[in-house]
Structure 1
Amino acid sequence: MAPRRLVVLLLICSVLLNFCGAFASTADDQRRPMILPLHLSSPDDARHHRRAFDGRRLQRSEPNAHMRLHDDLLTNGYYTTRLWIGTPPQMFALIVDTGSTVTYVPCSDCEACGNHQDPRFQPDLSSTYQPVKCNINCNCDDKGNQCTYERRYAEQSSSSGVLGEDVISFGNESALVPQRAVFGCENIETGDLYSQRADGIMGLGRGQLSVMDQLVDKGVISDSFSLCYGGMGVGGGAMVLGGIKSPPDMVFTHSDPFRSPYYNIELKEIHVAGKALKLNPKVFDEKHGTVLDSGTTYAYFPKDAFIAFKDAIMKETHFLKQVHGPDPNYKDICFSGAGRDVTQLSKVFPQVDMIFSKGQKFSLSPENYLFPHTKVSGAYCLGIFENGDSTTLLGGILVRNTLVTYDRADNKIGFWKTNCSELWKSLNHENAQAPSSNDGNMSGGIAPDIAPAGLPQTDLPGELQIGQISFDMMLNISNSMKPNFTELAESIAHELEVDISQVHLRNYTISGNDLLIKWTIVPDESANSFTTTKAMNIIRRLREHQMQLPHKFGSYQLVKLKVEPQIKRSWWEQHSWMVAVGVSVASVLGLLALGTWLVWRYRSRQGMTYEPVDGVVGAVVAEQELQPLK
Structure 2
Amino acid sequence: MRCRILVLCAIICLFVILTEARQRRVNHSAYRRSLAVRSGHRIELRSARQGRRLAVRARNQRKRRLNAAKRSRRRRNLAIKSNRETKAKTEPNVSSGSTYAALPLDFQPNFVRTTDHLRSEKVFLANRYGFSFATTSGAATLANHGNMQYTCKMNIGTPKQMFTVIPDTGSSNIWVPGPHCKSEGCQNHKKYRPAKSSTYARNGKSFAITYGSGSVTGVLAKDTVGIAGLAVPNQTFAMTTKEPGSLFVTSKFDGILGLGYQSIAVDNVKTLVQNMCSEDVISSCKFAICMKGGGTSSRGGALMFGSSSTSAYSGSNSYTYTPVTKQGYWQFTLQDIYVGSTKVAGSAQAIVDSGTSLITAPTAIYNKINEIIGCTATSSGECWMKCAKKIPDFAFVVAGKKLVVKGNKMKLKVRTKRGKTVCISAVTEMPGEPVILGDAFIRHFCTEFDLANNRIGFAATTSAT
Per the TM superposition, whether the score is higher than 0.5 is yes
Structure 2 distance, partners of 1:154, 1:378, is 25
Conservation of the 8 A alpha-carbon contact between 2:382 and 2:428? no
Matched with 1:515 is: none
Matched with 1:184 is: 238
Structure 2 vs 1, CA of residues 388 and 178 (structure 1 numbering), >3 Å: closer, same or farther? closer
Structure 1 distance, partners of 2:307, 2:437, is 23
Matched with 1:122 is: 193
Structure 1 distance, partners of 2:136, 2:154, is 17
Counterpart of 1:255, as a letter, is P
Structure 2 distance, partners of 1:66, 1:249, is 16
Conservation of the 8 A alpha-carbon contact between 2:216 and 2:240? yes
Matched with 2:366 is: 306
Instruction: Using the TM superposition, give the Cα deviation of residue 307 of structure 1 relative to its aligned residue in structure 2, in angstroms.
Output: 2.6
Structure 2 vs 1, CA of residues 59 and 100 (structure 1 numbering), >3 Å: closer, same or farther? farther
Aligned-partner SS, 1:294: coil
Structure 2 distance, partners of 1:116, 1:209, is 29
Conservation of the 8 A alpha-carbon contact between 1:230 and 1:419? no
Structure 2 vs 1, CA of residues 398 and 385 (structure 1 numbering), >3 Å: closer, same or farther? same
Structure 2 vs 1, CA of residues 398 and 409 (structure 1 numbering), >3 Å: closer, same or farther? same
1:200 matched to 2:255: yes
Conservation of the 8 A alpha-carbon contact between 2:338 and 2:344? no
Conservation of the 8 A alpha-carbon contact between 2:387 and 2:413? no
1:69 matched to 2:111: no
Structure 1 unmatched ranges of 5 or more: 1-57, 133-145, 315-321, 339-347, 423-630
Percent identity over the alignment is 24
Instruction: Using the TM superposition, give the Cα deviation of residue 97 of structure 1 relative to its aligned residue in structure 2, in angstroms.
Output: 0.9
* 1:423-480 CA distance string (max 9 Å, x none): xxxxxxxxxxxxxxxxxxxxxxxxxxxxxxxxxxxxxxxxxxxxxxxxxxxxxxxxxx
Between 1 and 2, higher relative CO (CA 8 Å, sep ≥ 6) is seen in 1
1:148 matched to 2:206: yes
Aligned-partner SS, 1:233: coil
Structure 1 distance, partners of 2:222, 2:191, is 16
* 1:377-404 CA distance string (max 9 Å, x none): 8953311123211321111111214311
Which residues of 2 match residues 5-404 of structure 1 at below 5 A? 61-72=134-145, 74=147, 77-112=148-183, 114-115=185-186, 117-132=188-203, 146-153=204-211, 155=213, 157-170=214-227, 174=229, 176-177=230-231, 179-192=233-246, 194-197=248-251, 198-207=253-262, 208-221=269-282, 222-235=284-297, 236-245=300-309, 250-256=318-324, 259-273=326-340, 275-277=341-343, 279=345, 281-282=346-347, 284=348, 289-314=349-374, 332-338=383-389, 348-357=390-399, 359-366=400-407, 368-374=409-415, 380-404=423-447
- What value does the CA root-mean-square deviation take over the aligned residues? 3.1
* 1:399-421 CA distance string (max 9 Å, x none): 21431111222222222232568
Conservation of the 8 A alpha-carbon contact between 2:362 and 2:435? yes
Aligned-partner SS, 1:250: coil
Structure 2 distance, partners of 1:391, 1:79, is 23
Aligned-partner SS, 2:308: coil
Structure 1 distance, partners of 2:188, 2:138, is 23
* 1:66-121 CA distance string (max 9 Å, x none): 111124254xx422211111111111111221111110111113344634554311
Greater C-alpha Rg: 2
Structure 2 vs 1, CA of residues 387 and 112 (structure 1 numbering), >3 Å: closer, same or farther? closer
How many pairs are equivalent?
A: 319
Instruction: Using the TM superposition, give the Cα deviation of residue 224 of structure 1 relative to its aligned residue in structure 2, in angstroms.
Output: 0.9
Conservation of the 8 A alpha-carbon contact between 2:391 and 2:408? no
Structure 2 vs 1, CA of residues 153 and 416 (structure 1 numbering), >3 Å: closer, same or farther? closer
* 1:474-507 CA distance string (max 9 Å, x none): xxxxxxxxxxxxxxxxxxxxxxxxxxxxxxxxxx
Structure 2 unmatched ranges of 5 or more: 1-130, 263-268
Aligned-partner SS, 2:328: coil
Structure 2 distance, partners of 1:310, 1:191, is 30
Structure 2 vs 1, CA of residues 153 and 405 (structure 1 numbering), >3 Å: closer, same or farther? closer
Instruction: Using the TM superposition, give the Cα deviation of residue 329 of structure 1 relative to its aligned residue in structure 2, in angstroms.
Output: 5.9
1:406 matched to 2:445: no
* 1:295-339 CA distance string (max 9 Å, x none): 11211112232233233334xxxxxxx6x68x996652313435x
Structure 2 vs 1, CA of residues 331 and 309 (structure 1 numbering), >3 Å: closer, same or farther? closer
Structure 1 distance, partners of 2:247, 2:382, is 27
Aligned-partner SS, 1:266: strand
Counterpart of 1:220, as a letter, is V
Aligned-partner SS, 2:276: helix
Conservation of the 8 A alpha-carbon contact between 1:68 and 1:237? yes
Structure 2 distance, partners of 1:86, 1:420, is 36
Structure 2 distance, partners of 1:246, 1:328, is 40
Matched with 1:591 is: none
What is the TM-score normalised by the length of structure 2?
0.61
Aligned-partner SS, 2:302: strand
Counterpart of 2:254, as a letter, is D
Structure 2 distance, partners of 1:70, 1:407, is 23
Conservation of the 8 A alpha-carbon contact between 2:232 and 2:272? no
Counterpart of 2:392, as a letter, is P
What is the TM-score normalised by the length of structure 1?
0.46
Counterpart of 2:219, as a letter, is V
Aligned-partner SS, 1:150: strand
Instruction: Using the TM superposition, give the Cα deviation of residue 179 of structure 1 relative to its aligned residue in structure 2, in angstroms.
Output: 4.0
Structure 2 distance, partners of 1:384, 1:228, is 20
Counterpart of 1:354, as a letter, is F
Counterpart of 2:178, as a letter, is C
* 1:251-293 CA distance string (max 9 Å, x none): 4232325x241111221112333x24154x33x1xxxx11111
Counterpart of 1:205, as a letter, is G
Structure 2 vs 1, CA of residues 396 and 242 (structure 1 numbering), >3 Å: closer, same or farther? same
Conservation of the 8 A alpha-carbon contact between 2:410 and 2:426? yes
Instruction: Using the TM superposition, give the Cα deviation of residue 230 of structure 1 relative to its aligned residue in structure 2, in angstroms.
Output: 1.9
Structure 2 vs 1, CA of residues 73 and 388 (structure 1 numbering), >3 Å: closer, same or farther? farther
Conservation of the 8 A alpha-carbon contact between 2:288 and 2:303? yes
Conservation of the 8 A alpha-carbon contact between 2:222 and 2:234? yes
Aligned-partner SS, 2:243: strand
Structure number having the greater helix percentage: 2
